[in-house]
Amino acid sequence: MKADVLLGLQWGDEGKGKVVDVLTPRYDLIARFQGGPNAGHTLEFEGTKHVLHTIPSGIFHADTLNVIGNGVVIDPVVFKKEVDSLLSRGVDVRKNLKISRKAHLILPTHRLLDAASEAAKGQSKIGSTLKGIGPAYMDKTGRNGIRIGDLENPRFIELYTALVDKHKAMLAHHQYAYDLSALEPDFFTALEVIRSIPFIDSEYVLNDALNSGKAILAEGAQGSLLDIDFGSYPFVTSSHTVTAGTCIGLGIAPTSIGKVYGIFKAYCTRVGSGPFPTELNDETGELLRTRGHEFGSTTGRARRCGWLDMPALKYAIMLNGVTELIMMKSDVLSGLDTLKVCTAYRYRGEEITHVPYDVVNEHIEPVYTELGGWSEDLTGVTDVAALPDGLNRYIDFIERETGLPVTIVSVGPDRMQTLLRTVLA
């Protein structure tokens, strides 16, 4: 078997959690491959809403094994909150969750360093979620990090103290005031919760699963336009959010990747700083934010909203080798007479259709193609045959531009508000 991948093609929050939950019955195993508690993946079913940060979105399906891969960074404090919240919903993660020994830990001092670094940047801050992601990945690549497997080491506390001492020196350099003693008790309590989950050599578990014919779905976090290499650097996250990140973050060979589901909103949103060519700072932007409830699942911050950006979408499709598209939040566009889609950029006096190197300092003006909208409310539609013509024309346009099928259309936040346009293989 090959591992399928589901990842975001924009700046995150495309609706990955919802669709992973919908697709989970088709898979034996769901595996997160990168990111950490900067992610907020929302699932809605049976009238309740649930936000996951570190735990894969297949967790509500008791027969599916969920794996936190080696590419993930884990904050035990956030993880414990997730476990407690799931327990209150009757879900005991000890039954179907396992953690890679090679995943890295986020320490309280990583969070402090994130805050100190953003404060030092002032106006040019990244708009980080302040979850300690950047500092934790810096320690990983700097070869100073502490891994989940180190929790099995009797010398864990020595490793912890040595790294914290290093961090204290860095915080002193930033002249950043903090009270670590207020943070450590929660951290050490939460470590015991982590210890109650089985640790695994996940690269073996996943490859053995593939070899024995099990179906795996890899769940991405963030979005392709936040990738450390291909996003609008430095306004990016610190991990590889593209398909290649699946191979690294799970230990699966490129030849073992099967389908790549690329998920996008019918418009665009971005939370945090950084370029956003199609951003709407007007009443249409406000309408999208209000109708789409565009407020961060992790930080509650208002998301910036704008029209669909085709050069950026095609860039993400190219980087990821997307095989099929999933369009989310179509219902939010109902009632708009005209929909705009950016099909090119005006850049340095020229019209271009690629994403240029310098998107941060140069002015990028979107060139729009206008399409008719639809007035019908989509949230109660249960059959693709009942989708309005205006929406079908919008989807046709996207399929023609990208050369890919839109196989799933989402018309509301609930699990049930998901329409399959073809029978999925």
Measured distance between the N- and C-terminal CA atoms of the chain, rounded to whole angstroms: 13
Task: Check whether the bond before 25 is cis (ω within 30° of 0).
Answer: no
Q: Measure the CA–CA gap between 72 and 76, rounded to whole angstroms.
A: 12
CB of 66 to ligand GDP, least distance (A): 15
CB of 220 to ligand GDP, least distance (A): 9
Closest to 18 in 3D by CA, of 333, 381, 326: 326
Which of 41, 53, 80, 111 touches ligand GDP (CB under 6 A)? Answer: 41
- Return all residues near 143 (Cβ < 8 A) that are at least 6 apart: none
The active-site residue out of 13, 21, 114, 331 is 13
The active-site residue out of 4, 21, 28, 41 is 41
Which of 23, 39, 263, 268 touches ligand IMO (CB under 6 A)? Answer: 39
40 binds Mg ion (CB under 5 A): yes
For ligand IMO, which is the closer residue by CB, 305 or 387? Answer: 305
412 binds ligand GDP (CB under 6 A): yes
DSSP 75-96: -HHHHHHHHHHHHHTT--GGGT
Q: Measure the CA–CA gap between 3 and 215, rounded to whole angstroms.
A: 7
DSSP 248-265: HHHT--GGGEEEEEEEEE
129 binds ligand IMO (CB under 6 A): yes
CB of 193 to ligand IMO, least distance (A): 22
- Return all residues near 35 (Cβ < 8 A) that are at least 6 apart: 72, 73, 133, 220, 221, 222, 237, 239, 241
Which of 24, 38, 224, 246 touches ligand IMO (CB under 6 A)? Answer: 38
Q: What is the total count of residues that contact ligand GDP (CB under 6 A)?
A: 24
8 binds ligand GDP (CB under 6 A): yes
Q: Which residue is nearest to ligand GDP (CB)?
A: 42
61 labelled catalytic? no
Which of 4, 5, 8, 347 touches ligand IMO (CB under 6 A)? Answer: 8
* Dihedral sign, Cα of residue 305, residue 311, residue 317, residue 318: negative
Strand partners, 371: 339
Which of 96, 129, 239, 410 touches ligand GDP (CB under 6 A)? Answer: 410
Residue 320, number of CB atoms within 10 A of its CB: 26
174 labelled catalytic? no
Under 8 Å between Cβ of 239 and 137: yes
- Return all residues near 384 (Cβ < 8 A) that are at least 6 apart: 409, 419, 420, 421
309 binds ligand IMO (CB under 6 A): no
String marking each residue 53-72 x if it binds Mg ion according to CB under 5 A: --------------------
Task: For the segment 268-297, give every residue that binds Mg ion (CB under 5 A).
Answer: 297
Binds 226: which of Mg ion, ligand IMO, ligand GDP, none (CB < 5-8 Å by kind): ligand IMO
Which of 4, 14, 21, 139 touches ligand GDP (CB under 6 A)? Answer: 14
| Encoded tokens for 332 | 């939010």
411 binds ligand GDP (CB under 6 A): yes
Q: Measure the CA–CA gap between 422 and 408, rounded to whole angstroms.
A: 8
Task: For the segment 268-297, give every residue that binds ligand GDP (CB under 6 A).
Answer: 292-293, 297
Interface residues with Mg ion (CB under 5 A) are 13, 40, 297
Interface residues with ligand IMO (CB under 6 A) are 8, 11-13, 35, 38-41, 126-129, 131, 133-134, 221-223, 226, 237, 271-272, 297
